[in-house]
Structure 1
Amino acid sequence: MPQHVIQILLPLSDNEGQPFSSSEYARVRSELTERFGGMTAFTRGPAEGLWEENGKTARDDIVVFEVMTRELDSSWWDRYRRTLENRFKQDSIVVRAQEILLL
């Protein structure tokens, strides 16, 4: 039976360059573990996100949080994404899902 991998790309700092508290990431880990029974956090070396904004290249250092689940509750994820956008003071946070087949 197929499952889904959901990834959340979270910034390490706000738009002024101030790092977020480690307690914010611990809170996300706790929320995801409680809801999905486990999670994976890719936090060792931050990934770099680049995009074009107003003719300039913008950049974020990010960490990736990931969960696997059989059911994909899009409305729950939409609400949670908006919660994270408020909490991390972002216009947009990427939450992406991919259907997978465990071998």
Structure 2
Amino acid sequence: MHLIEILLPLRDADGEAFPAEYYDDLAQHLTDKFGGVTSFLRAPAEGRWHGGGATQREDIAVMEVMARSFDREWWAALKNELTAKFRQEELIVRCQMVELL
């Protein structure tokens, strides 16, 4: 089983919140394709990284799905679509193998 996580920004570079529909539409799309999604939107995570000579900070939302197989091309296309929609230089989509008990 694969666990796929998408890390999404909550705000754009100017500090404006992205529309709730962006997250709702993605959650529905993933539910339709994979039969379910887990969204961590209400208690955002915090991302930190070094850039521009200082530590950068950003509140993020996380969406995750579990899938029996991993279609790299499908996920790469979704990542490209989301990177443009959320106006990001880079967007993290990660996949890991998990064992269900």
TM-score between the two structures when normalised by the length of structure 2: 0.97
**Residue type matched to 2:48 in 1?**
L
- Kindly state the Cα deviation for residue 44 of structure 1 after the two structures are TM-superposed: 2.2
* Alignment gaps of 5+ in structure 2: none
- Kindly state the Cα deviation for residue 54 of structure 1 after the two structures are TM-superposed: 1.6
- What secondary structure, in the 3-state scheme, does the structure 2 residue paired with 1:81 have? helix
Who is 2:64 aligned against? Answer: 66
Is 2:11 the counterpart of 1:10?
A: no
- What secondary structure, in the 3-state scheme, does the structure 2 residue paired with 1:62 have? strand
Who is 2:38 aligned against? Answer: 40
Who is 2:74 aligned against? Answer: 76
- Kindly state the Cα deviation for residue 59 of structure 1 after the two structures are TM-superposed: 1.1
Count of aligned pairs between the two proteins: 101
Is 2:86 the counterpart of 1:98?
A: no
Who is 2:52 aligned against? Answer: 54
- What secondary structure, in the 3-state scheme, does the structure 2 residue paired with 1:10 have? strand
CA deviation digits over 1:54-77, x for unaligned, max 9?
A: 211111100100000010001111
CA deviation digits over 1:20-51, x for unaligned, max 9?
A: 01011111111111111110001121100001
Supply the distance in 2 between the matched residues of 1:58 and 1:16 (Cα, whole angstroms).
14
**Residue type matched to 1:24 in 2?**
Y
* Alignment gaps of 5+ in structure 1: none
Give runs of ≥4 in structure 1 deviating > 3 Å: none
Supply the distance in 1 between the matched residues of 2:63 and 2:74 (Cα, whole angstroms).
16
Q: CA RMSD in A?
A: 0.7
